[in-house]
Amino acid sequence: MLRATFLLIAIALNSGHLAQASDLQSKLGAVHFPTSGSMKVQHHFIRGIAALHSFWYTEALKAFEQSIVIDPDFAMGYWGLAMAHNHPLWEDQDKKSAKEALAKISGSSKLTQRERDYIRAARLLFGDGEKRMRDKAYSRAMKNIYHKYPDDLEAACFYSLSILGVSINTIDKLRLQVEAGSIALDVFQKNPNHPCAAHYAIHAFDSPKLARLALPSAKRYAKIAPASHHAQHMPAHIFVQLGMWSEAVTSNINGWHTSVEWVKKQNLPLSERDYHSLHWLHYAYLQQGRLKKAESIFNIQQQDMRNGINSKSNFRAGKYYHRMLSASVIETEQWELIEKFPPPEGWQPKIFSKAAYHFILGFSAANQGKIEIAEEHLSYLRALREKGFRENYFKRIENLEVWELEIQAAIKLYQKDFETAIKLAKKATLIEEKLPAPSGPPRILKPSYELLGEVYLKANKPVQAQEKFYISLLRHPNRIRSLVGIARASNANRNRETAIESYQQLVHQLKNASAELPELKEARKFLKGK
């Protein structure tokens, strides 16, 4: 029986190559996955499994390939290669490469029954038929392994992840999330240094209703796998869900810098930098009112797009251009900023990003009373929706429908047609309710309940406005725009206690903001005169 991971690390010191790999392994968490391979092979295999649990697929592939170089007959090395080609939470899978890896596994008699079970499950995952059915078949197989080997934490991990993969786009999503998360938390209790335990719990409970269940995992994961930029970023999913902006800033700074350092060390292209963390950092700074910091982050994104014209870095950084532009404008209500951040040369957005870009241009124009321009972008948006695009968990045709309604509502609001604006904004909330739960910076860009609250407030209906801002804050805790809204609505509704509480929270949240920030000045003025 193979011993624990620390023994493998000690053995690795006999070789410079293995010592380097061992150093990385020790920074990816504690994993124990016995196989029939040699100790040299096992060392690389364990590193691959640890990287896999942090979704560091390039590093996992490298580790599994190294194990096969040492022993071309190492069956679990090929299994690992196959699994590294499956990215369940991104609805992405390289089936061809995975099948090629599995095809190289011989029917060696030295394989344990447990290894054969894992390989059989992988063959179901990459077998014939539609992907969703294969995902379900694989999850059932992993469930059997999970029950067959109750002391095997890896079985628990892979089963938990398989449930999360199956949960995407299902009406049973909440129940499946709870099931996957409870399994991950059980692993966390048995091995608090296991990368999957904290990681999968965060993914499972990444929703407004469940986020607090993953708070201990969020506080732990970055320490478990300090080498992984994904592990540095992931706690922010829970921190944002709970409106913990200081913690969200720290997580995403660490995620970004870890990726930058790795790119430099490995002499990789700019495209490998973690623009996802950069995007979330930008949003977190905005929620703290640190506008100069947010602008500097947006400038990094734009500079990388300019430096990477017609390259992968342009594409990867460019994926976040419309999101960061929208947040810069919507969170500050500085509608004229649209003109300050034009799309860099070479930006080639796909349909969904184009739609989002037309939304923010149209929404900004409507709020400035530029009705013709707003309607022009509204027409572009409708045309893109009708053209269609490949939908997935994050990109839905409903997003575009909400954006159209929000532009229309903003137009009617500017024209003081409050009744129509309310109807349009209400319809937007009903559509957004059917979309996946919020996660991170709003995918709707302008949360529809927040907009409805603002419409009610301008229509002199503070009671209804207060109610909608409450709902918005349940979905997006501690958002500045919703906090300001509920403070104003409460004051207009003569609910002084709630107004005072909301403005006090704003002052605290904006403690590092410029003293000239309008929302901070408003809060201080109110509290001074209370």
Looking at residue 306, its pLDDT comes to 81
Mean pLDDT of 323-346: 91
Which residues, in sequence order, are CB contacts of 147 under 8 Å at separation 6+?
none
Residue whose pair of structure tokens reads 């003025």 in the numeric block: 525
Which residues, in sequence order, are CB contacts of 394 under 8 Å at separation 6+?
436, 443
Which of 91-95, 240-244, 465-469 has the weakest average pLDDT? 91-95
What confidence category does residue 22 fall into, taking pLDDT thresholds of 50, 70 and 90?
A: low
Q: Is 13 exposed, middle or buried (0-12, 13-18, 19+ CB in 10 A)?
A: exposed
pLDDT for residue 422 is more than 50: yes
Please give the backbone phi and psi of residue 169, each rounded to the nearest 5 degrees, phi first.
Answer: 60, 35
Q: Rounded to an integer, what distance in angstroms lies between the CA atom of residue 78 and that of residue 55?
A: 18
Looking at residue 307, its pLDDT comes to 77
Measuring CA to CA, how many Å separate 107 from each of 116, 352, 473? 9, 47, 57
Q: Rounded to an integer, what distance in angstroms lies between the CA atom of residue 24 and that of residue 12?
A: 12
Mean pLDDT of 49-73: 96
Overall pTM > 0.85: yes
What confidence category does residue 16 fall into, taking pLDDT thresholds of 50, 70 and 90?
A: very low
What does the radius of gyration of the chain's CA atoms come to, in whole angstroms?
25
Please give the backbone phi and psi of residue 92, each rounded to the nearest 5 degrees, phi first.
Answer: -130, 135
Which one has a higher pLDDT value, 437 or 237? 237
Cβ distance 449 to 429 under 8 Å? Answer: yes
Looking at residue 262, its pLDDT comes to 93
Measuring CA to CA, how many Å separate 218 from each of 224, 274, 286, 336? 11, 19, 22, 37
Q: Rounded to an integer, what distance in angstroms lies between the CA atom of residue 481 and that of residue 484?
A: 5
pLDDT for residue 108 is more than 70: no
Tallying the residues shown for the chain, one arrives at: 530
The SS3 call for residue 311 is coil
Looking at residue 308, its pLDDT comes to 65
Q: Rounded to an integer, what distance in angstroms lies between the CA atom of residue 246 and that of residue 258?
A: 18
Which residues, in sequence order, are CB contacts of 507 under 8 Å at separation 6+?
520, 523, 524, 527
pLDDT for residue 178 is more than 50: yes
Give per-residue pLDDT as tens, 271-291: 889 999 999 999 999 999 999
Paired tokens of 157: 């991990």
What confidence category does residue 314 fall into, taking pLDDT thresholds of 50, 70 and 90?
A: low
Measuring CA to CA, how many Å separate 138 from each of 16, 75, 133, 255, 444? 39, 19, 9, 31, 33
Looking at residue 39, its pLDDT comes to 93
Cβ distance 362 to 377 under 8 Å? Answer: yes
Looking at residue 7, its pLDDT comes to 33
Q: Residue 28: which of 62, 76, 1 has the closest Cα?
A: 62
Looking at residue 18, its pLDDT comes to 42
* Residue-averaged pLDDT of the chain: 91
What distance separates the 2 farthest-apart alpha carbons in the chain?
82
Looking at residue 346, its pLDDT comes to 75
Looking at residue 21, its pLDDT comes to 46
Cβ distance 86 to 261 under 8 Å? Answer: no
Contacts of the segment 412-421: beta carbons below 8 A, 24+ positions apart: 413/366, 413/454, 413/455, 413/458, 414/366, 414/367, 414/369, 414/371, 415/371, 418/455, 418/458, 418/459, 419/459, 421/455, 421/459
Percent of the chain with pLDDT over 70: 93
CA angle at 92 for the pair 114 and 279, rounded to the nearest 5°: 120
Paired tokens of 72: 């071309």
CATH for 1-227 is 1.25.40
What confidence category does residue 509 fall into, taking pLDDT thresholds of 50, 70 and 90?
A: very high
Percent of the chain with pLDDT over 90: 81
